[in-house]
Structure 1
């Protein structure tokens, strides 16, 4: 039987569940939490095989299975906020468990990360290279991925240092977990399924993002016309790090517009 995921919870109010991206862990959200926990219940979760959940093993490392485990651990309706790969997982929760979803926020994410069938995205060869690098040196691979995430940011070195210092509080996941979770970015396509999402849906993007091309924004606008989007003009792939104050203002304003305090 699969172990139950550990979660961390602080504060009171409408529950906000934060899901991290590939290769990292829930510590990336720490700079935002102090600002939010006075008004909300802030819940963070590490993906199976990562940080506090490093002992959790899955028979199949899939979006559906991870979504099931996270909603089981949270145990109540919540606003799900997912960054990058975490955005895919949060979207899967919205699709598979609509009754447990109050609202959805995706950050620097896409329903399909790989460029294929006229969909803008990362070239498949880039992710294939990451798979090869993982087999040789996992630490160097994560380091290179951090550089890509911050590329284009006006303070790239500081962003990389901030993220690295946060996530290195925990041991790195195994090469197998990194390989399996990277495959989710490589193979997942929720572009049709997200059309079913009928709860408040906010999409946040960095204009300088090297992993989620700006063409994705208009494509998702067409697919989910009732969703809202916001672009951080000077941000790359981690706007909640590089533009924390703006990120928090946008997020809190959206929540205030769509939810009462007693939701």
Structure 2
């Protein structure tokens, strides 16, 4: 990747302390982290990044829209060791960063994420037909597709309507990504499989899940326990796919306690 391309990836930084880099999920942008960021920046440097093609980085183009290229671009933009926190697709990106750039990662936290999202053989996940439908819908109406995806993410939450509204209000502050970028990043969810590489992650590794998550089924948690035996995990009993929105206070308490114990 060229140096100029790396420089074009914008990040936002607030607060001081150990850097926490937050990476958003598919179809959304870094604004989803605003409520958490406001609470964390008194104790940490909170860095948020939009994936290439999204929001503040909507003009950034990669030679290849792959986890490795995205990981390289983010590492170049951040430029110093940090704790990486990735939600959903962002968890795949953060995991790839920990695998490829271990010296730049003080800790890895994945939120409602999986090393492979697609249902395969004995691996629970999203049915391929569901993502195929999203690809079709993207060709017709991108905004409606993202809206439908938000509904799936909040499904199971005790306050589903409020969660959807909160996320939508946050992400709509920014321009929506182009259809091609949405298509390319959706393909990452379909094709990525980091399961065999999780055991190689030697940094402190914390996995957070929602028990009611429809995209990362709870059955997958025990499988990942075996793949990443050195990691810790926490399950939000009443949360679905966005515990940092639906259960913000609990999320921040669990996050800070783990950071104090394992990183600081």
TM-score by length of 1: 0.98
Q: Identify the residue that residue 87 of structure 1 maps to in structure 2.
A: 91
The unaligned stretches of length 5 or more in structure 1 are: none
1:34-81 C-alpha deviation (Å, 9 max, x unpaired): 110000000000000000000001121000000000000000110000
Q: Identify the residue that residue 149 of structure 1 maps to in structure 2.
A: 153
Q: CA deviation at 1:117?
A: 2.9
Q: Say yes or no: does 1:203 pair with 2:203.
A: no
Query: What CA distance in whole angstroms lies between the structure 1 residues aligned with 2:262 and 2:62?
Result: 35
1:183-224 C-alpha deviation (Å, 9 max, x unpaired): 000000000011100111000000000000101110010111
Q: CA deviation at 1:259?
A: 2.2
| Preserved contact between residue 204 and residue 263 of structure 2 (Cα < 8 Å) | no
Query: What CA distance in whole angstroms lies between the structure 1 residues aligned with 2:19 and 2:221?
Result: 27
Q: Identify the residue that residue 168 of structure 2 maps to in structure 1.
A: 164
Q: Say yes or no: does 1:214 pair with 2:230.
A: no
Query: What CA distance in whole angstroms lies between the structure 2 residues aligned with 1:259 and 1:64?
Result: 25
The alignment's C-alpha RMSD in Å is: 0.7
Give every structure 1 segment of 4 or more consecutive aligned residues whose post-TM-superposition deviation is greater than 2 Å: 1-4
Query: What CA distance in whole angstroms lies between the structure 2 residues aligned with 1:181 and 1:77?
Result: 26
Q: Identify the residue that residue 55 of structure 2 maps to in structure 1.
A: 51
Query: What CA distance in whole angstroms lies between the structure 2 residues aligned with 1:221 and 1:128?
Result: 29
Query: What CA distance in whole angstroms lies between the structure 2 residues aligned with 1:136 and 1:35?
Result: 39
| Preserved contact between residue 6 and residue 77 of structure 2 (Cα < 8 Å) | no
The unaligned stretches of length 5 or more in structure 2 are: none
Q: CA deviation at 1:233?
A: 0.3
Query: What CA distance in whole angstroms lies between the structure 1 residues aligned with 2:219 and 2:195?
Result: 14
